Amino acid sequence: MEGGKMPPTVRRGYDPQDQEWFSGPGLSRLQTAEQEVVWLLDRDYPLSSVITLVGGHHQLSARQRTALHRAAASQAACRLRLAKQRPLAAGCLGDIAIDGLNLIITLETALSGSVLIRGADGVLRDLAGLRGTYRLISQTDQAIDLLGQCLSDLNAAAARFYLDAPVSNSGRLRQRILERSSGWGLPVRVDLVPDPDTLLAGQDCVVSSDSVILDRCAGWFNLAAKLAADRIPQAWIVDLDGHSC
């Protein structure tokens, strides 16, 4: 409970128009736009300018443009990220460095049945857009518990979460992770830091969907995608390369 009260029932990352924007003709336009964005990125056009150009041409909504911005990457960037991706097999995980809010929000979104975008790099990204604010919701505990079960099953040696200290309620999330991780069977540390991106960028065994971190880290695990596929049947995953599940 948060402050003695039950966390609110919220669909993290939900927008009532998502069914229109991420299925049928709306999704077809978005997939075509993604192909054009990648073509331009491959020729070194800047991402923000490309999104403005292509989004305007296809009359995409602001939310569809956000999806493109989050998921699109040049083919070269995708190859580099995939070359650094570590295998998710029992016994392969060492000490895991986790972009805490990034992962928890992605899992909360999956548990809410809200849209997740899968980019060409295979990473799931949410459209929650919290912008410096965060609040524990009814799916938070389940997200933490699913993560703990997965790390235990994969024989992770230890987990260290990095949470954005400036984000509201990050301290409450820290306490909740520490409380619920007591039975995971592995050491867990949760740090409140000014900027997780800076600390994670040079590490190996990272869990994040942040493109900046994936481009700069030494190695990473696609843990959110595995959890969504294996343990969250209600996850709504839209693949901009042409598949939705």
Looking at the structure, tell me whether residues 173 and 213 fall in a common domain: yes
Q: Is the pLDDT of residue 241 over 80?
A: no
Whole-model pTM: value is 0.93
59 & 107 share domain: no
The CA-based angle 203-204-209, given to 5 degrees, is 85
| Cβ atoms of residues 27 and 17 within 8 Å | no
Total count of domains within the chain: 2
Whether 223 and 122 map to the same domain: the answer is: yes
Whether 237 maps to a domain, the answer reads yes
Q: Are 193 and 124 within one domain?
A: yes
35 Cβ contact partners less than 8 Å away, ≥ 6 residues apart: none
Residues 129 and 215 in one domain: yes
In this prediction, residue 78 has a pLDDT band, given cuts at 50, 70 and 90, of very high
The rounded distance, in Å, linking the Cα atoms of 28 and 151 is 36
Residue in 63, 69, 32 with CA at minimum distance from that of residue 49: 69
Q: Is the pLDDT of residue 137 over 90?
A: yes
- Give pLDDT tens digits for 172-184: 999 999 999 999 9
Question: Residue 230 has which token pair?
Answer: 């294996």
Same domain, 68 and 102: no
Per-residue model confidence as pLDDT tens digits over 87-127:
987 666 789 999 999 999 999 999 999 999 998 899 999 99
- Alpha-carbon gap, residue 156 to 115, rounded angstroms: 29
220 and 108 co-located in one domain? yes
Domain shared by 153 and 108, yes or no: yes
Assigned domain for 99 exists = yes
Count of Cβ atoms closer than 10 Å to residue 138 Cβ: 16
**Residue 132: how many CB atoms within 10 A of its CB?**
8
Count Cα neighbours of 200 within 13 Å in the Cβ-side half-sphere. 32
Domain identity same for 59 and 123: no
Same domain flag for 43 and 124: no
